[in-house]
Amino acid sequence: MTQPPDFSLEGKVALITGGGRGLGLAMSQGLAAAGAEVVLASRKADTCEAAAAEIAASTGRQAHAYALHIGHWPEIEPFVERVYADLGRVDVLINNAGMSPTYPKLSDVTEELWDKVFAVNLKGVFRLTTLVADRMMRGDGGSIINISTVGAIQPQPHALPYTAAKAGLNALTVGFARSVGPKVRVNTIMAGPFRTGVAATWTDEFTQGVAADLPLQRIGEPSEVVGAVIYLASAAGRFTTGAALAVDGGLSVPQDQAMRSEGKSFSG
């Protein structure tokens, strides 16, 4: 008899970078609700501390806050040492922290901007994943989830350094999955447009234009990424590794395959 999938994270420790706001906060809340003890890390310690207190109060799960600038390579190993000294293990790592500075045009992109974007979105992720995956392999294994963007496969001029870095992150996902299996699984979630703090700066016209390009005709709510995260983090996803899962409202669906609200339907 086929057993129902096991989505429980009871007894697990989940580390989420950028876990204090936006998608990271939604993931942290969802992981705690599924039973995990969560570790929130970002360069703004006060934001993480407030989020950890909120999560502990609402879920009854332990939540911890740590300061970490993922773009600063020398900070990463001491951070990992502190987490393992305090908690003893990490079963789930979610590489969520990212940045995408705006610029007027491509010729205005400076070397400093380029280096910062790659340090946060790719270089630091590589270092943190290497250190945590090594410990996971020596322990009970685990799951690593990289938060990328659909822009990695559909890059646009207004965020080219960011999407280039995320395309690199997609490549790291496949390489790490081959390197650290079978005890550790590594997957990517390619996120589409979500109603986060970044979206709060969009005009209504821009938001409507973005939504019009999606088969679902709306942007996502942060809570709507949680199901995919729980699947990949838990035993339910134990046969999934090296995958890139688009959670994007259908943005990555090729236009000639997308079903629009034009009276079209399938029958039979």
Q: Which CATH class is domain 13-247?
A: alpha beta
Q: Answer for the pair 217, 258: CB distance below 8 angstroms, yes or no.
A: no
66, 84, 162, 231: the catalytic one is 162
**Residue 185 has what pLDDT?**
98
Contacts of 63 by beta carbon, 8 Å cutoff, 6+ apart: 28, 32, 37, 38, 39, 40, 51, 52, 53, 55, 56
Q: Answer for the pair 235, 6: CB distance below 8 angstroms, yes or no.
A: yes
pTM recorded for the entire structure: 0.92
**H or E element that contains 211:** helix 204-212
* Residue in this structure with the two tokens 């005890």, named with its chain if needed: 183
pLDDT tens for 39-94 read 999 998 899 999 999 999 999 999 999 999 999 999 999 999 999 999 999 999 99
Q: Answer for the pair 228, 189: CB distance below 8 angstroms, yes or no.
A: yes
The distance of Cα 115 from the centroid of its chain, to the nearest Å, equals 21
To the query of whether residue 162 is one of the catalytic residues in this protein, the response is yes
pLDDT tens for 130-174 read 999 999 999 999 999 999 999 999 998 889 999 999 999 999 999
d(CA 23, CA 194): 8
pLDDT tens for 104-120 read 999 999 999 999 999 99
